[in-house]
């Protein structure tokens, strides 16, 4: 994908395998969130080819672009963005209702995901009243309940305490492996990449600077000093 930004041009090629967690790292403003927004369809790239499980989502050369609501990408944005006026149950059901699934399937799937994310006892609570860790689990349940083809998390551990961070990491890894879906996690902390990632990709000023196993990441990225 290529997109001309204010200070630099984002020019990136990434590939994530099913069941793999790829950690996208970089300093603030390096293009991490922009990359996720382009993949989700929230932002248009100047040039891009995006393929998910063999299905083309975007091919700018052919002027082909699947709308954001039809991409089936589970995206947990920064600050989790749970809908504060809705209950936990309604938050998890939101994507399923938007897809007009039968009521029985919605009920069953919402109950299953609330159970898996350990938020079943919070079902009737307004999401706005939850703690940061609980909100993040609601957001994760909501994103996974639509059975996405790709899961993306943008800085999911910011503002979480150590216990909540570990819980979200464990849950994310477990269900990405179980559902065999590709997953991209944006973070700027090295510790996160080694604990959650199968592979890490360091970007700086919109360009890939390093890619490999998180455990093999250089102690200090010489170009962007982010790692």
Partner 1 sequence: MIPKHFRPKNYRRTLTGIAAGILIIAVTLYLALPILAIFLRVTPEMFFTSLHNPDVSSALWLSLFTTCITLIVVILVGTPFAYYHCRFSYPGKVIVDTLIDLPLVLPPAVAGVGLLVLYGRVGLLGKYFNMLGIPIAFTTLAVIMAQVFVASPFYLRQAKSLFEQLDPAYEQTAQTLGASSLRTLTLVTIPMTASGLVSGAVMTFGRALGEFGATIMFAGNLPGVTQTMPLAVYVGMESNVNIGLTISIMLVIISFTIMIAVRLIQNREANRA
Can you give the binding site for partner 1, defined by CB under 8 A?
Answer: 37, 40-42, 68-75, 77-79, 81, 83-85, 94-95, 98-99, 128, 139, 142-143, 146
Minimum distance from residue 119 beta carbon to partner 1 (Å): 17
Task: Please work out, in degrees rounded to the nearest 5, the angle formed at the alpha carbon of residue 112 by the alpha carbons of 94 and 110.
Answer: 15
Cβ-based nearer residue to partner 1, 141 or 176: 141
CB 73, min distance to partner 1, A? 6
Which one, 42 or 159, has the nearer CB to partner 1?
A: 42
Of 155, 24, 26, 172, which is closest to residue 80 (Cα–Cα)? 155
Is 132 in a helix, a strand, or coil? helix
Q: How far apart are CA 75 and CA 38, in angstroms?
A: 12
The residue (of 5 and 98) whose beta carbon lies closer to partner 1 is 98
Decide: 74 and 146 in contact? Cβ < 8 Å.
yes
- Tell me the closest approach of the beta carbon of residue 101 to partner 1, in angstroms: 10
Q: For residue 191, what are the contacts with CB-CB under 8 A and spacing of at least 6? A: none
Kind of pairing between the strands at 73-76 and 207-212: unpaired
Residue closer to partner 1 (CB basis): 3 or 199: 3
If the CB atoms of residues 37 and 193 are measured against partner 1, the closer one turns out to be 37
Q: What does the alpha-carbon distance between residue 167 and residue 169 come to, in Å, rounded to a whole number?
A: 5
User: Taking the complex as a whole, how short is the minimal distance between the CB of residue 128 and partner 1, in angstroms?
Assistant: 8
* Shortest Cβ 209–partner 1 spacing (Å): 28
């Amino acid at each position: 994908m290529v997109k001309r930004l204010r200070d630099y041009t984002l020019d990136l090629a990434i590939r994530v395998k099913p069941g793999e967690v790829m950690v996208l790292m970089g300093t603030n403003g390096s293009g991490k969130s922009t990359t996720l927004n382009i993949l989700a369809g929230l932002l248009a790239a100047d040039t891009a080819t995006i393929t998910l499980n063999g299905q083309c989502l975007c091919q700018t050369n052919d002027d082909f672009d699947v709308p954001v609501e039809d991409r089936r990408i589970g995206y947990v944005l920064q600050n989790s963005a749970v809908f504060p006026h809705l209950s936990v149950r309604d938050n998890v059901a939101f994507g399923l209702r938007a897809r007009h699934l039968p009521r029985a399937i919605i009920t069953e799937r919402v109950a299953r995901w609330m159970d898996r994310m350990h938020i079943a006892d919070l079902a009737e609570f307004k999401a706005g009243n939850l703690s940061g860790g609980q909100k993040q689990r609601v957001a994760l349940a909501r994103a996974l309940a639509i059975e996405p083809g790709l899961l993306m998390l943008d800085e999911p551990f910011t503002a979480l305490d150590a216990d909540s961070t570990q819980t979200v990491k464990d849950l994310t890894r477990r269900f990405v492996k179980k559902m065999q879906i590709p997953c991209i996690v944006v973070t700027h902390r090295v510790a996160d990449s080694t604990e959650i990632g199968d592979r890490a990709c360091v970007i700086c000023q919109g360009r890939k600077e390093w890619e490999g196993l998180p455990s093999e990441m250089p102690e200090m990225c010489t170009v962007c000093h982010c790692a």
